[in-house]
Amino acid sequence: MNNSNNKQTTPAWATGILSAIVWGGGQWLNRQYLKGLVFFLIGAGSLTAELTTGHYNDMSAGFRLRDNGGFFLKGLWGLVTLGTQPRKMGMSGLTPGDHSIVLMANGIIALFVILILVFFYVWNIRDAVMARRRMNESGIHQSSLQDMKQLWESMYAYIVLSPAALLTLFICILPIVFGVLIAFTDYSRSNTPPTKLVHWVGFDNFVTVTQVFSWMHTFLNVLLWTFVWAILATITTYFFGFFQAVLLNNSDVKLKKLWRSIYILPWAVPAMISALVFKSMFNGQFGPISQFLLDTGLTDERIYWFTDPNHTYLARILALLINLWLGFPYFMALIGGTLTTVSDSYYEAARMDGATSSQTFWKITFPIVYKATAPLLMLSFVSNFNNFGVIYFLTEGGPANPDYNFAGNTDLLITWLYKLTLDNRLYNMGAVMSIIVFLIVASFSLINLRKSKSLEEI
């Protein structure tokens, strides 16, 4: 630090205005040349990117964002308009034109980059003002390196976390924003780029889901079954895993490691493989289960477990049982580990008080284990709410239901969303469903986690 011989008379706001006009200008006025150069390069780089990616050298017909704009301006134009000129199939292939979905994606990226630049722009102004204010108050000039070292020490955690935050912005947040925006367009199989343009339609897709009977009927029934599935799948796997863990924790059980190894196998095998094996075993036409029941005289005809539209609950119950087989080892292992942390003094005191085994379990074991595993129980509910693999690979949503729009009797919201999007190319309706699923899962999880105070224990 250098003591300034002369009292600094430049007001702080002047450096801010200079940095607002020229990136890094205020820092140069503060004689913090390195910081000024960094901010200047950021500003100049963004301007260069816009100029080099646009067509600013050919504006004989006037400036038009579509034809002359660069990465930033044309990106924002594309995001707002989604294009104005569809491509057409000609003798030599597709003619030049706009692709609405590409324009939307580029627009979102441009918007994100602009937001980052706005952050640096504000930082550039604020840094110049704060640095000048410190100089005026103390009369001490602080160099760029001293300022940067101070920034590194005070903001170390944020600086280290920044690269991951940037990756999250472009890898996680960007697709989410893209999916949300699709819900407000008419992007579907009847309106697919590049030969057609996609248009913004506001809340029309949400209105269709809520006001058109076939969509509302399908949505409510699929939503109801999704909740029933998530609740039953979570409860059955949790308590059966709990039961197995308590049994294996019993001192009378020998070869505990062997039993644990056997019971963990269903979880160790990929769920998709297990689902496909069960699907083959319960195949109504060729499956060995139906053949065995027929051969032994237990049934008079083959049972179409997953496809019989007259016995839809058969497929649902079987899906829950298979999910139980796949899911209980996780809770068995989790709760088994938790049980080893419960102090024997609790059980000793209970025995001295004459407590029964049932009272010991409900008054000591269950509360302790539940408190430790409640956060994962809630996460398991969310996972089952979106349990795509078991339902899709086991039943593919069947049995078919002619009263539903593109959904079967065992379809969850997530599998229905998949069918809408990939099988039927109703991207706009699929996006609406994804938003609804997100809102339901997020709200339910937040309410339950707060109610159970589980997050406070993490």
What's residue 458's pLDDT?
Answer: 47
What's residue 5's pLDDT?
Answer: 47
Please state the rounded mean pLDDT for residues 301-309: 89
Instruction: Name the band, by pLDDT with cuts 50, 70 and 90, for residue 6.
Output: very low
Is 229:387 a contact under the CB 8 Å cutoff?
yes
Tell me which of 205-209, 280-284, 316-320, 448-452 is least confident.
448-452
Tell whether the model's pLDDT for residue 45 goes beyond 90: yes
Q: What is the amino acid identity at position 11? A: P
What's residue 4's pLDDT?
Answer: 47
Q: Which CATH superfamily is domain 206-451 in?
A: MetI-like (1.10.3720.10)
d(CA 251, CA 347): 13
φ/ψ region of 109 (left if φ > 0, alpha if ψ in -120 to 50, else beta) reads alpha
Residue with tokens 């102090």: 343
d(CA 390, CA 394): 6
Helices (H), 288-420: 288-295, 312-339, 344-352, 357-360, 366-385, 388-394, 413-418
Tell whether the model's pLDDT for residue 7 goes beyond 60: no
Query: Where are the chain's structural domains?
Result: 12-201, 206-451
**pLDDT tens for residues 177-216?**
999 999 999 999 888 888 899 999 999 999 988 888 888 8
Please state the rounded mean pLDDT for residues 147-155: 88
**pLDDT tens for residues 92-115?**
777 888 999 999 999 999 999 999
Dihedral over alpha carbons 172, 173, 179, 182 (to 10 degrees)? -150
**pLDDT tens for residues 392-427?**
999 988 898 888 888 999 999 999 989 988 888 899
Length of the chain: 458
Please state the rounded mean pLDDT for residues 297-316: 89
Residue with tokens 């602009």: 114
Write the DSSP string, 134-177: HHHHH-EE--HHHHHHHHHHHSHHHHHHHHHHHHHIIIIIHHHH
Is 85:201 a contact under the CB 8 Å cutoff?
no
pTM of the model: 0.78
